[in-house]
Amino acid sequence: MPFRVGHGYDLHRLEVRPPEGQGRAFVLGGVTLVHDRGPVSHSDGDALYHAVTDAILGALCEPDIGQLFPDTDPRHESRDSEVFLAAAVDRARALGWQVANLDATVILEKPKLSPHKEAMRANLERVLGVAGRRAVNIKGKTHEKVDAVGEGRAVEVHCVVLLTKA
């Protein structure tokens, strides 16, 4: 088959950061967001990069992000999630695949995603090697104050990626 589809999903609990600005910064799509909360995670907790990584790995029928980069490995403590995403892209290329496009939905009450979407898109395009092709779409949604996501206690991301033969 000349194409493959993968779905990625990630969710991270968000906890209030101490007033002194300590604790994990809220990074999404490689962009640090100004927020009083940060993700509870082993790596930097970038839920968008994690979902995209899993979507690519899923399309390849490869192990998922947790198997390749386990949270029991101290080397991944606070690690920049771009490393995981780049590794998935490298695996795809090594197997003869390239990203054709991806569509991601970030579900988050606040902060609003609109001011940051272009920077996130540019980061993803750079890492995926699709800059200038209009191949990355990011949508921001709220959860209408329903459950942990809607109450601002979590961030959730869904992603679909299409791979084509290189």
Identity of residue 78 = S
- Number of folded domains that form the chain: 1
Whichever domain contains 8, its CATH number is 3.30.1330.50
Picking from 130, 49, 40, the residue whose alpha carbon sits closest to that of residue 87 is 49
Mean pLDDT of 105-112: 96
User: H or E stretch including 115?
Assistant: none
> Model pTM?
0.95
pLDDT at 124: 98
Is pLDDT above 70 for 9?
A: yes
Could you report the per-residue pLDDT of 118-155, keeping only the tens digit for each? 999 999 999 999 998 999 999 999 999 999 999 999 99
Mean pLDDT of 34-58: 95
Residue 18 is part of which domain span?
3-165
pLDDT at 21: 61
